[in-house]
Amino acid sequence: MKPHEIAFEIAQELGFDLAGIAPLEAPHRAGEFQTWLEEGRHGSMEYLERQKDRILDPSRVLPDARSLLILGLGHARAPLELEGGARVARYAAGRDYHNWISKRLQNLRRRLEALGLRGPYRGIVDAGPIMERAHAAAAGIGAESKAANLLSTAHGPWFFLGELLLGEELEPGPGPSNPPGMTLPNCGTCTACIDACPTEAIVAPGQVDARRCISYLTIEHRGPIEHDLRASLGPWVFGCDVCSEVCPWGSDAPDASALLGTHAAFEAPEGSPLTGWLTHREGFSVRFNGSPLQRPRREGLARNAAIVLGNLPSDEGREALLIALAEDPAGVVRAAAAWGLLRGHGDDAGVRGAIERALERERDEAVRRDFNRTIRGPSV
């Protein structure tokens, strides 16, 4: 067997659904990425600017690397809906996929080394300094969509990507799951993802303004979410699947829900998980240990919960928001709680009184400005 065929076979044995080899060269969308950064569409993800040179030239990521092995792993398609209607992006089901994929990349590396394939090696999962979707498309395992996702013929948009840089020069091309000549997905004239995006974050085919993207806002963004976007979050408390849900290529994809198992993060100590995420401040790290839900930290997840509780009003949510407004130590959460209360219960005189009292005792000027913006509207 040729070295690339060996790599594909071992990857399949380790549970990967897709595999391909990409040449270690500048991604074909390098110019678009540079423009995207210059326009500030990466939001507060400064690390992308810091890593720009390596992203644009993957040969800088690992000296002496010669090939880029791209791997795909299907994930859950079953909707993740919490009590009360709040929603979590499907990829967050079960254990953190970064750990799962990283361990298998390590196993893959060890087995390739044992067979004599040259190093050095470096595994990357999601956060590494490469344009993984562009390289995956170059490897032939999928096609880039108008939502800037990668679409697989078998899995639609419902899969993870991982990469292994290695010193062996391997023959570029797709693995047996996507043999040469296989028809890859094509968006054609479809604009379903663009039309359905709640915040109009897809500003042009293949171009997403992260500053408006619900996934970015609820996971990566620190601090308050813009008032004009809060109502558009709808039920999404962590991530967003709308562009993938409406994509025709994902409608018949297999469901890999069992792959990463279930996780206690979706079990609240009492009442609705969403109210628990807002009011239970102790033990956050323990409670969400091993889950992607740790990423926004306690403040970010509580901020998201407060906004969604406003978008999905309930009596239980009202009480949780009042507690957060009066007691939460994080200003960004207090501000979001005020917005959620007025959004969901603005006709309640008790709510307005609570917000006015909170404004009187608030000492954080940024939070006071947020309160006043909430009171003035018009976003509520």
Active-site position among 53, 64, 96, 126:
126
- 64 part of the active site: no
Spatial contact of 192 and 248, defined as CB atoms under 8 Å apart: yes
Distances (CA, A) of 293 to 56, 87, 100, 199, 302: 30, 12, 15, 22, 11
Cβ–Cβ < 8 Å for 311, 87: no
**CA neighbor of 34 nearest in space, from 56, 60, 58, 57:** 56
**Annotated active-site positions, please?**
126
